[in-house]
Amino acid sequence: MRKKILCLLCAVSCVLTGCIQNTMLQQDTDPENYYLQEIAHLHIEEALQNLTESESGSDPGSASQTEHETIRAVWIPVMLYETWMYNQSETQFRENVQKAFQNCTDLGLNTIYLHVRAYCDAYYNSEIFPAGAYLNQNYDPLAIMLEEAHAVNLSVHAWINPLRSQTVQKMATLEDHYILKQWYNDPEKNGTYLVNSEGRYYLNPAYPEVRQLIADGITEILENYDVDGIHIDDYFYPTTDPAFDQKAFSESNAQDLAEWRRTNCSELVKLLYETVKNHDSAIPFSISPQGNFTINYDQLYADVKLWCSTEGYCDCIIPQLYYGFQNETCPFKEMVNQWTEIATATDLVIGLAAYKIGTQDQWAGSGKLEFLTDSAVIAKELEYLSEFETIQGAALYSYSSLFEPEQAVSALVADEKNRISDIWD
């Protein structure tokens, strides 16, 4: 069933490019975590075409004022802030943002999923979370980006990673007034509420206090910024290792670790949805999970089928269908069909992997050369999506792949962008 039009804006996941030139930034941005899309279960995606678009917009500063019936979105991940924001004055940052958002509108995009919290940090004025590593100047980047996006009729969905937190080194340097640091300093909570997994801390969703902290962070954004939506991506449990939450599990009296973890994630998702709706029922809450159901269910403990088929968990689901048509294990058309069958209680927007244009898709089996030999995969996927009335749009990952590609693939990306622009014209 189709949901309210207001729920269409969504977003989200997460391939980040570029080298980190500063030691502090290196501590805070490890590539393995950012390239979650580039592990064995992710590939290229899809989107759409000839769907009727209806846009409404009044005051550029009002919440949910830039609404689009058909979503044409792009993810803007935090790594871009290294060049946009780090050591940049407010004027320079604004100019960088204006140029980027003009690129978006020129391509026909109408929605951006804007990273505002990637590591339990903040690229906005926050009393709850510390400033992000790239924010070393005295201005409010989210306020500026909202102003500039709404000025060109781009919807902005604030994109957060709920559970992923600071590196071990960075956590030790946080100021003591942050809740995160208080948990870090507390031997009862360090290892339970906060858990070190391969050198980075993660929040443990088993605890109501942890889930409430994440919800409070969303409330802070909604109360202070006119965002058009709230968006989370596919970072749920970082490991299948039972040691991650052994104490909480043993105290729960649950019998099945995997089912217990899935319940924890569902409780978190439901709370975040309710938090958004309690603030403003018109603001959509969206989730961008992995495209592969098995990976979601058995490795990340994300019960996406429940969230898609039951009201009260999210307004819009944006699976990362990063697969080509020739993918041997997850062919694009088959995956689209699977998601359209389960998304009965939410809107459905399809995520596409622009980052694979001109590259070898190493996990696609016999289809690994598809993105090398065919420069129109994304456009063809958009055309396929246009055949589905139940699909509300497409989201491309990521901005840098489209507008700051590697030299080796720049010509192929330019060709694909022309095709995308023609489809969305």
Domain range summary for the chain, segments of one domain joined by +: 5-424
**Cα separation, 117 vs 217, whole angstroms:** 9
Our CA angle for 102, 13, 419, nearest 5°, is: 45
Model confidence at 41: pLDDT above 60:
no
Place of tokens 């300093």: 185
Task: Look at 11-25, 110-124, 133-147, 219-233 and tell me which has the smallest mean pLDDT.
Answer: 11-25
| pLDDT at res. 123 | 98
Tell me the pLDDT tens digit for each residue of 247-294: 999 999 999 999 999 999 999 999 999 999 999 999 999 999 999 999
| pLDDT at res. 110 | 98
Model confidence at 349: pLDDT above 60:
yes
Domain 5-424 has CATH 3.20.20.80: yes
| pLDDT at res. 67 | 63
The answer to whether 292 and 226 are in contact (CB under 8 A) is no
What b/e readout covers 69-87, taking b as 16+ CB neighbours within 10 angstroms?
bbbbbbbbbbbbbbebbbe
Model confidence at 162: pLDDT above 60:
yes
Tell me the pLDDT tens digit for each residue of 45-75: 333 333 333 333 333 333 344 567 899 999 9
What is the mean pLDDT of the segment spanning 123-129? 98
In the beta sheet, which residues pair with residue 357?
none
- Averaged pLDDT of the chain: 88
AA identity, residue 296: N
